[in-house]
A and B are shown apart, each in its own frame.
Chain A
Amino acid sequence: MDFIFSLFGRFHPLLVHLPIGFLLIGILFLFYPGKEKEVLFPAIRLAVFWGCWASALSVVSGLILYNNEGYAFETVKWHLVLGCLTLLSSIGFYLYLKAGNFLNSKKTRSFGLVLLMFIILTGHLGGNLTHGEDYLIEVLPDAVQRLLGNSGRNEISGLILEKDSWKESLFFEDAVLPILSKNCNSCHNPKNKKGGLVMITSGDILKGGKNGPVIFSDNASESSLIHRMLLPKDDKDHMPPKEKRQPSKEEIMLVKHWVESGASFNISLVEAGIEEEMLESFFLQDKIGDFPLTDLPKLSETVLQPIKARGVLVEPLSLNSNLLKVVCLNVQDFKDQDWDLLEPIKRHIAILDLSETAVGNQLLTKFSACENLTILKLNSTSVDGENLGFLKECKNLRKLYVNKTKVDQDALSKLNGHATLESIFVFGTPASIEKAKGREISHSAKIEYGGYELPSLPNENKLF
Chain B
Amino acid sequence: MKGLEKIMNELEITRLEKLTRRHFMLDCVSKVGGLAFFPLLSSCGFGNRNEKAGLNLSERDLNPLSPLPSPFIPKAKSVIYLHMAGAPSQLELFDFKPELIKYHDQPCPESLIKGKKFAFIRGVPNLLGPQAQFQQHGQSGAWVSDYLPHFSKIVDEVAFLKAVHTDQFNHGPAQLFMQTGSPRLGRPSLGSWVTYGLGTENQNLPGFVVLTSGGKTPDAGKSVWGSGFLPSVYQGVQCRSKGDPVLYLKDPEGISRDLKKKIISTINEINQEEFEHYGDPEILARINQYEMAYRMQIEVPEVMNINDEPDYIHELYGTKPGQEAFSNNCLLARKLIEKGVRFVQLYDWGWDSHGTDHSTALDLGFRNKCTEIDRPIAALILDLKQRGLLEDTLVVWGGEFGRTPMQENREGKTMGYKGRDHHVDAFTMWMAGGGIKNGSSFGQTDELGFSGIEGRVSVHDIHATILHILGFDHEKFTYDFQGRPFRLTDVEGEIIKEILA
Contacts and interface: CB of A to CB of B under 8 A. Distances in A.
B386 A452 contact: yes
B391 interface: yes
Contacts of B45: none
A316 B198 CA distance: 12
B405 interface: no
Interface in B188-206: 201-204
A318 B497 contact: no
Interface residues of A, number: 37
A460 B371 contact: yes
Contacts of B73: 288-289, 291, 317-318, 321
Interface stretch (B62-70, B80-88, B250-258, B268-276): B62-70
A337 B474 CA distance: 42
A425 B379 contact: no
B367 interface: yes
B69 A448 contact: no
Contact of B70 (A288, A319, A452, A453): A319
A427 interface: yes
B69 A330 contact: no
A427 B70 CA distance: 30
B471 interface: yes
Contacts of A417: none
B391 A399 contact: yes
Given A318-B71, A399-B388, A403-B387, A454 B153 contact: yes
Contacts of B153: 454
Interface in A416-464: 423, 425, 427, 448-454, 457, 460-464
Given A452-B385, A454-B150, A464-B367, A315 B67 contact: yes
Contacts of B69: 315-319, 321, 325
B72 interface: yes
B368 A327 contact: no
Interface string A300-338: 000000000000010111111100010101100000000
Interface residues of B, number: 39
Given A454-B316, A460-B375, A464-B363, A313 B385 contact: no
B74 interface: yes
B149 interface: yes
A401 interface: yes
B388 A401 contact: yes
Interface in B268-294: none
Contact of B71 (A319, A448, A449): A319
Interface in B292-340: 312, 315-316, 339-340
Interface string A356-391: 000000000000000000000101000000000000
Given A319-B69, A454-B379, A403 B388 contact: yes
B72 A427 contact: no
A289 B391 contact: no
A448 B67 CA distance: 29
A315 B340 CA distance: 15
Contacts of A377: 388
B169 to A, nearest CB: 24
B385 A327 contact: no
Given A318-B72, A464-B367, A454 B375 contact: yes
Most buried by A among B365, B367, B368, B387: B387
Which 8 pairs show the lowest CB-CB distances between chains A and B? A450-B386, A425-B388, A452-B382, A318-B73, A289-B73, A427-B386, A464-B364, A315-B69
Given A289-B73, A460-B371, A464-B363, 11 more contacts: A288-B73, A289-B75, A317-B69, A318-B471, A321-B69, A327-B201, A327-B340, A449-B386, A452-B316, A453-B315, A454-B150
